[in-house]
């Protein structure tokens, strides 16, 4: 079986199991998604979804966010971890959105990646999930599964992103990265994984 056939089969398995994967972070617009993704660094989606309602009750747009102090933001988001850096980034990027973009979240990778606290992965999530632009955000979970399924040599997440983009159809990327995340949680965890019962590893492990 060629790698292309293998990838097609893996995509089919993922589509059968998760035909319409929901976006795991609760949000209502590009700004609240951007803040949620920023908070999710080294933090679970479940914890972010517990904290963001408290934050967004105070400020769910950049104009209200800059009325809070960095300390106030930090106090609210503390359970998400890395709160000193994240609170500064949220405050500063909100100022930039107001000054440069009339309070709107920009719709390009370049502009997003220039914002404080926003790396390529965060920008990719916002571009794909807020604006529907094809992107393949690779987090540690997707990286781990791509190595496990031998779709990449696993040097780093950047290489994994390139490999997955090369191997998969562009019109599938936005769903596929979510499908892999949900599949990993349900069938292919980092610990306690049983490859014999995993729907993908039992075939390609």
Q: Quick one: pLDDT band at residue 154, thresholds 50, 70, 90?
A: confident
Q: What's the CA gap between 111 and 192, in Å, rounded? A: 41
Chain-centre distance for alpha carbon 2: 29
Three-class secondary structure of residue 148 per DSSP: helix
Q: What's the CA gap between 179 and 19, in Å, rounded? A: 8
CA distances from 126 to 12, 34, 132 (A): 25, 6, 9
Predicted local confidence at residue 192, as pLDDT:
92
Task: Give 83-137 as a 3 state SS string.
Answer: HHHHHHHHHHHHHHHHHHHCCCCCCCHHHHHCCCCCCHHHHHHHHHHCCCCCCCC
Q: What's the CA gap between 135 and 98, in Å, rounded? A: 26
Q: Quick one: pLDDT band at residue 117, thresholds 50, 70, 90?
A: very high
Q: Which residues are catalytic?
A: 121, 139
Longest dimension (CA), the chain: 58
pTM (two decimals): 0.94
Tell me 193's DSSP state: -
Predicted local confidence at residue 197, as pLDDT:
94
**7-63 pLDDT per residue, tens:** 999 999 999 999 999 999 999 999 999 999 999 999 999 999 999 999 999 999 999
User: Which residue is it, tokens 């604006």?
Assistant: 131
Tokens for 143, please give them: 């990286």
30-129 placed in CATH 2.60.40.10: no
Q: Quick one: pLDDT band at residue 172, thresholds 50, 70, 90?
A: very high
**13-27 pLDDT per residue, tens:** 999 999 999 999 999
Predicted local confidence at residue 66, as pLDDT:
98
Predicted local confidence at residue 3, as pLDDT:
85
Average predicted confidence (pLDDT) for the chain: 96
Tokens for 35, please give them: 């803040």
CATH tag for 3-22+135-204 (out of 3.40.50.1240, 1.10.10.10, 3.30.2130.30, 1.10.1670.10)? 1.10.1670.10
Mean pLDDT, rounded, for 65-93? 98
Residue 155 pLDDT exceeds 90: no
Name the residue ranges covered by the structural domains of the chain.
Answer: 3-22+135-204, 30-129
């Amino acid at each position: 079986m060629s790698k292309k056939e293998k990838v097609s089969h893996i995509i089919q398995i993922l589509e059968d199991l998760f035909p319409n994967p929901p976006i795991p972070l609760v949000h209502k617009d590009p700004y609240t998604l951007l803040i949620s993704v920023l908070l999710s660094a080294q933090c679970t989606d479940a914890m972010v979804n517990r904290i963001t309602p408290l934050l967004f009750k105070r400020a769910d747009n950049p104009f209200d966010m800059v009325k809070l102090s960095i300390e106030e933001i930090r106090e609210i988001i503390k359970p998400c971890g890395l709160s000193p850096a994240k609170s500064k980034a949220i405050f500063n990027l909100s100022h930039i959105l107001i000054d440069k973009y009339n309070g709107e979240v920009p719709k390009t990778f370049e502009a997003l990646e220039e914002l404080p606290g926003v790396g390529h992965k965060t920008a990719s999530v916002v571009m794909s999930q807020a604006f529907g632009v094809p992107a393949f955000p690779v987090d540690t979970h997707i990286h781990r599964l791509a190595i496990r399924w031998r779709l990449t040599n696993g040097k780093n997440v950047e290489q994994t992103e390139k490999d997955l983009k090369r191997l998969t159809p562009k019109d599938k990327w936005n769903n596929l990265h979510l499908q892999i995340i949900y599949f990993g949680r349900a069938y292919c965890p980092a610990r306690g994984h049983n490859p014999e019962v995993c729907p993908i590893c039992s075939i390609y492990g």
